[in-house]
């Protein structure tokens, strides 16, 4: 009897899973409200596996405020390119340790083979300050976090570079 119940549950779950994959609205409704941003950029390969990098910002309640967390993933893409699955997940502890009230993503660089760099910015209304961090992940899942130059500085550097050409 238990085998029949288990088999029925498995069939029901598979049917439900298939229906979910076909219904984008239902999939969207399954995304937790704490997920405030998702970005995909760059490509990676490691042996027989290959895919893209994905960054997810989660903003969770923290007392009277909120705190942003960043989770990076290597998404493995099937050879036909039609399906993907999580190959590796890397929470970025250095972002959590900063206790940022929010975080926003922008791709800083994705032209380098097997790595991508995101600019993570946060605005702190208490101090009226922008905080910027560069987060780089490679195909092995190694993460590097460093302070970002101010966006104004970056724009000025780009203008100076273009003028010197």
94 and 61 co-located in one domain: yes
Residues 20 and 52 in one domain: no
Tokens encoding 120: 């993570």
DSSP per-residue string spanning 104-140: EEEEEE--STTEEEEEEEEEETTTTEEEEEEEEEETT
Q: Tens digit of pLDDT for each residue in 71-121? A: 999 999 988 878 889 999 999 999 999 999 999 999 998 778 899 999 999
Same-domain status, 99 and 129: yes
Q: What is the pLDDT of residues 66-81, one digit of tens each?
A: 999 999 999 999 888 7
Residue 108 sits in which domain range?
A: 38-163
Query: How many domains are there within the chain?
Result: 2
Contact 55, 71 (CB under 8 A): yes
- The pLDDT, as a whole number, for residue 18 is 52
**Do 99 and 127 belong together in one domain?**
yes
Q: Give the three-class secondary structure for 75.
A: strand
- What confidence tens digit (pLDDT) does each residue in 6-28 have? 333 344 444 445 554 568 888 88
> Are 10 and 81 in the same domain?
no
Q: How confident is the model at residue 4 (pLDDT cuts 50, 70, 90)?
A: very low
Tell me which of 40-49, 52-61, 74-83, 94-103 is least confident: 74-83
């Amino acid at each position: 009897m238990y085998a029949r119940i288990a088999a029925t549950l498995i069939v029901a779950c598979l049917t439900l899973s298939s229906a979910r994959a076909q219904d984008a609205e239902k999939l969207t409704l399954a995304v937790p409200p704490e997920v405030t941003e998702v970005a995909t950029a760059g490509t990676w390969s490691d042996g027989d596996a290959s895919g893209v990098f994905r960054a997810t910002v989660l903003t969770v309640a923290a007392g009277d405020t909120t705190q942003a967390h960043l989770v990076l993933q290597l998404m493995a893409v099937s050879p036909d390119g039609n399906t993907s699955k999580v190959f590796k997940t890397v929470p970025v502890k250095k972002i959590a340790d900063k206790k940022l009230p929010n975080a926003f993503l922008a791709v800083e660089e994705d032209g380098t083979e097997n790595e991508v760099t995101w600019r993570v910015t946060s605005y702190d209304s208490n101090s009226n300050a922008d905080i910027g961090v560069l987060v780089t992940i490679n195909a092995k899942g190694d993460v590097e976090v460093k302070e970002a130059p101010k966006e104004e500085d970056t724009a000025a550097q780009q203008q100076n570079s273009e003028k010197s050409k």
